[in-house]
Structure 1
Amino acid sequence: MKSRAKLNIRNAILGVLMQGPAHGYRIKKLFAPFIAKDGINDGQLYPILNQLEKEKLVRKEIVRQQKSPNKNLYHITRKGSDEFFEWLSGPDDELDPVRCDFFMQYAFLVKCIFFEHLPKREKAAKLKRQIENLEQKIAEYRMMREEMLERGLSAYKIKIVDFGIELQQLKIRWIRDLLELQLREKASRKKKVGPEIHEPAQFMQPVASRSRRPRRKG
């Protein structure tokens, strides 16, 4: 049984080829940023293309070149087009079970689980660095968005980048909430902790206040 991630890449390749024939490098360039955090490498892409060719979902054309190596140009077949539309119009990849594995998509959350073991200053420093990293990522996404607009890509593709921007903004708000929570906890502890008041010990009480046993007569 194919994994969900591999299945997504498979269908994404078919989707790219629906727009026209493409060689491997162009396929990676067109859809890789939307599929995986670090894109897709040749070791992932070409085995899937070979499998699609075996299943007659794509057809490979060898383009011969005089001064450089030959290129493999991939075309989607009628069978591949049918499978793509079956996936696109069907329910697959639309409903996921409710699980607490969402933190695996944001590795920093895994560290947050164990933050209780870090000193407060170190926690605050890490949270602030995360905000800086996320702001840098937002800037890169906005540059990507501008390039997509210049290339005249569809509004749906651009909205995917918008989703990425909003997701980073959500993370920043969440981290700022954590920082504020840390400050409130610190202020609350200061209010609760005051000068310690101890009841005076028996031997510290004034002599006049000590109880005396009555002397027995006789």
Structure 2
Amino acid sequence: MFDWNFAWSITPMLAAGALVTFEATVIGFIVAVFVALPLALARRSRAVLLAWPIGFVIEFIRSTPLLIQVYFIFFVGPQFGITLPPMGAGLIAIGLYYGCFVSEVYRAALDSVPKGQWEAVVALNLGRWRAYKDVILPQAIPPMIPTLGNYLIEMFKATPVLSVISVLEMMERAKLIGSETFRYTEPMTLVGVFFLIMTLASSLLIRKLEQLFGAQRQDRGAIDREVSTSLAST
């Protein structure tokens, strides 16, 4: 039977683990988002000596389990002079792993920008940085949001992997409680509730971002049409 008194007594400990889970997910997602862009640009490069090695690295990381990469960074890294704390190793592993997936999202979004926009950038003689910032990325970001949201939710559910390197996230604390009290129903149920709350909140945030960027895209399209009409009338 579910013991509510026991559940309330272990809630603070699991809440502390939920905070670790939240921090690992958010920081890992930020790392993934920032790592993914240079990977995507490098893979789209016309320089074969840059695009092929980056493409191989991306496919290698995507094709191997996250668990193996966590073990490799934490246990094999010290043999090469790279010693990291458990949380740091976990963040790097999650960030790089999902960064490779997100880089493919970036690449697909950049490829979906109409060819005429790239030709306009060249015709206007815009610098590479300004072209991406002002023309390409504003058109590529909105289609990426739903997929990025899916990866954010997936990262929440991937954090229990970090327990193998002694990161005291939510699932690890639940297992410790179960091993000490021989009661698993309450801690595992609460872990499921915490995950549900975090994923639902993430889904709501992503939906709001979709609406925001969708409205901005519509406004931008309306302005472009008005400018085109004005130019045509003159």
TM-score w.r.t. the length of structure 1 is: 0.28
| Higher helix content, 1 or 2 | 2
Asked which structure has the greater RCO (Cα within 8 Å, sep 6+), the reply is 2
TM-score (norm 2): 0.26
Of Structure 1 and Structure 2, the greater strand share is in: 1
Larger radius of gyration: 1
